[in-house]
């Protein structure tokens, strides 16, 4: 009986050594791919409110995980809104009537909320079409 126990313990010791050596040299490679996602949400103002010469259009919520950054672009009726000043947070542009303008650029990924407003040009608000797009860089 004593002899059988010693043989069983010796066999177990031999089996454990290769397992321990194998586990110590094992490596894993993990690769994760995150899809590029850019979203621009608009929360309209509850009512038309005036801020100085401008009118509040509500708030933007921007989210973009593109490592190359992104651009916020506005599209509107060509020939309209000439001289209107569009602002989002600290960024502002004067619209030239072309129908398209870049409101802001971000050099990298970002999440932020910004208040948006527009001050009319000489012709007032001569269109009701404003479309904002977020475009990955």
The CATH number for 113's domain is: 2.60.40
- What residues make up the domain containing 88? 38-136
Q: What is the pLDDT of residue 4?
A: 39
Domain assignment present for residue 94? The answer is yes
Q: Is the model more confident about 17 or about 112?
A: 112
The model's pLDDT over 14-45, given as tens digits with 9 standing for 90+, comes to 555 555 555 577 888 999 998 999 999 999 98
Q: What is the pLDDT of residue 3?
A: 42
| DSSP assignment letter at 36 | P
Domain assignment present for residue 21? The answer is no
Domain assignment present for residue 50? The answer is yes
Q: What is the pLDDT of residue 22?
A: 53
Domain assignment present for residue 70? The answer is yes
Domain assignment present for residue 25? The answer is no
The phi-psi region of residue 123 (left if phi > 0; otherwise alpha if psi is between -120 and 50; otherwise beta) is alpha
Strand (E) or helix (H) holding 114: strand 110-119
Domain count, the chain: 1
From CA 71, how far away is CA 89, in angstroms rounded? 15
Domain assignment present for residue 87? The answer is yes
Q: What is the pLDDT of residue 23?
A: 55
Domain assignment present for residue 123? The answer is yes
Domain assignment present for residue 28? The answer is no
């Amino acid at each position: 009986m004593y002899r059988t126990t010693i043989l069983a313990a010796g066999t177990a010791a031999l089996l454990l050594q290769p397992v321990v050596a194998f586990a110590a040299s094992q490596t894993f490679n993990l690769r994760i791919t995150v899809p590029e996602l850019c979203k621009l949400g608009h929360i309209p103002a509850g009512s038309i409110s005036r801020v100085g010469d401008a009118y509040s259009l509500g708030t933007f919520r921007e989210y973009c995980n593109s490592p190359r950054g992104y651009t916020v672009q506005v599209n509107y009726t060509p020939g309209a809104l000439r001289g209107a000043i569009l602002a989002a947070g600290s960024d502002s542009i004067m619209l030239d009537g072309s129908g398209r303008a870049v409101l802001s650029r971000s050099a990298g990924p970002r999440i932020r909320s910004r208040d948006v407003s527009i001050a009319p040009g000489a012709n007032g608000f001569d269109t009701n079409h404003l479309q904002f797009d977020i475009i990955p860089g």
